[in-house]
Structure 1
């Protein structure tokens, strides 16, 4: 009886299942560490910040801002307000203070389309600095978020939805007939299917956030292209992980895209408000690159998108190359194993 019960337990929880469960628990804890670690205490750090002031006071103003505790700002002198507005529109800086020497009310230029929380944090910080000098600031939003885009989060939610769909579709394609691609033809077919998924998902996402909900004011065509590239990049990367590591590859895709990528994407808190580690990895991962590109399309006339599109393209190309190489190597190993077995059988003496 005891032997029978032990056998039932062993058959119900196999060693492979045990390892997978341990892996899931590890991912669960990493999820908590990553999200709480990135988002529990947002602080401004080295925010690119312009200063427009008379020559006599610009150095003093910059020094005062540069010496704030915790180094929240990285101030740089600009010649005039027009330059400050242009650099904000180009996403070279996140805000600017225009000192008005003929009065006591200065102008704070911000861009809530790049993240409303960052704009509010800059307003609060500069307000405290100016208050100590008996001055105030009037906030002017030069790239305002849409009234239907609460806190500028719609770009992030769009990207998260597209990423989730991408790695789920890729996972289904890979595990429906085995966790590893059996041959290059099957791998190429899965990649081709991801192209169709990317085109359909990218168009659907762009239409939903644009014409249907009116959440993002950017070009539907541009959002479609960005979304399709994002979906394919994540899907191809997921197929690559699965081609190399089997079902464990799904966990690795979740680790990079969801656990590391989402909290570092600059969604809830833009990059300058994240801890250094998450701020550093965010732009190199698909959610961060996608969020930046979606905001650029929606609020900054498509400016400063080149690096983000290069990141997504790199993920897509690497995913395709690794997926196909894994399939080719697997096929060669299978062929070599078959040849070895045939040779062994041919050399055995007859019974």
Structure 2
């Protein structure tokens, strides 16, 4: 006679349904990541087009002014075309990053001045415009790059990939600290986070410097900005875990991948993006790091102070969030033992956090690839 009857099958079926439901709930986070990453990256990068790209024609004679106005009329809102008195003035404005390119007219040897270290894609866009102008004269355009890129970064985009490495090392560490240190006081978790930021910044600086030569000078300044950047992410992440719990991973992805990488200017400058990501570029921490390091390495530290301030303010925001999280945890711990409301299952939370660590590692590999 069979020992397996309806009473035995019902618990098995209930267990299966519970497991499937649990898996479906866990899948919500990666599916939202897929949606968010697709919207952010495709929204930011799928159709780059110029709007207000700042270029100039060298010379103030009526002929040069007419040329500048003609280019402006044909380009519409895509270009912001001005004139500068001479080549020296054009060079100065390009190295101050007030201009993307400056066209030096000539009947036989027209020249375009650019600084590819500021943005290779913006320089390429300016080159496309003035190549058309030179072609109409039937003469070749000579392009002069005023900046000196590092030997290991011929396109000037290596700093963006350094940003990716620092970001992944920082936000993935938040999941590890939150899972492994769930029973620690938030002050201890924050201290571990700052120590981790130090490690992440050293790793990034060594990789960018002596290993791959993306940066071949000012490594101390690069390390300082990397430390500020990583510390800001880790302090914010450790604090957010108090409020978001299992949704911290998704929140960190939104803040420091979806909105961060796309607005950093590492691939396209704001003049080649839509208004939303261009506006984020003005104050987001990834943009602060990219533009600050660019200024340090290639533009004589011009405007670097403002970008360092941006990174410092993100760290301050993290410290404020940590204080709020500490207050919240103290209030929770001081609540009467018999107060109403469900008490979360610690083992289930820790298991979920472990799943978040794995998800972070897998996502980090995907983004890095």
- Name the TM-score, length of structure 1 as normaliser: 0.86
CA distance, structure 2, for counterparts of residue 302 and residue 308 of structure 1? 10
CA distance, structure 1, for counterparts of residue 214 and residue 244 of structure 2? 39
Change (3 A) 1:10 1:314: farther
Give 2:162's aligned residue.
Answer: 158
SS at match of 1:114: coil
Give 1:117's aligned residue.
Answer: 121
Alignment of 1:1-351 (within 5 A): 1-14=8-21, 18-69=24-75, 71-100=77-106, 103-134=107-138, 136-178=140-182, 186-338=185-337
Cα shift readout 1:201-247 (whole Å, capped 9, x = no counterpart): 22232222122222223311011101111111111121232122112
CA distance, structure 2, for counterparts of residue 98 and residue 279 of structure 1? 29
User: Any stretches of 5+ residues in structure 1 without a counterpart?
Assistant: 342-351
**Which shifted more, 1-10 or 294-303?**
1-10
1:175 touches 1:247 (CA, 8 Å); kept in 2? Answer: no
Deviation at 1:117, TM superposition (A): 2.5
Cα shift readout 1:61-118 (whole Å, capped 9, x = no counterpart): 2212222345322122222221221222122222212234xx3322211111122222
CA distance, structure 2, for counterparts of residue 270 and residue 340 of structure 1? 54
Cα shift readout 1:236-289 (whole Å, capped 9, x = no counterpart): 121232122112122111112112211222223333222332222234322222
Superposed CA RMSD: 2.3
1:44 touches 1:73 (CA, 8 Å); kept in 2? Answer: yes
2:117 touches 2:294 (CA, 8 Å); kept in 1? Answer: yes
Q: How many residues align?
A: 333
CA distance, structure 2, for counterparts of residue 176 and residue 152 of structure 1? 38
CA distance, structure 1, for counterparts of residue 48 and residue 258 of structure 2? 18
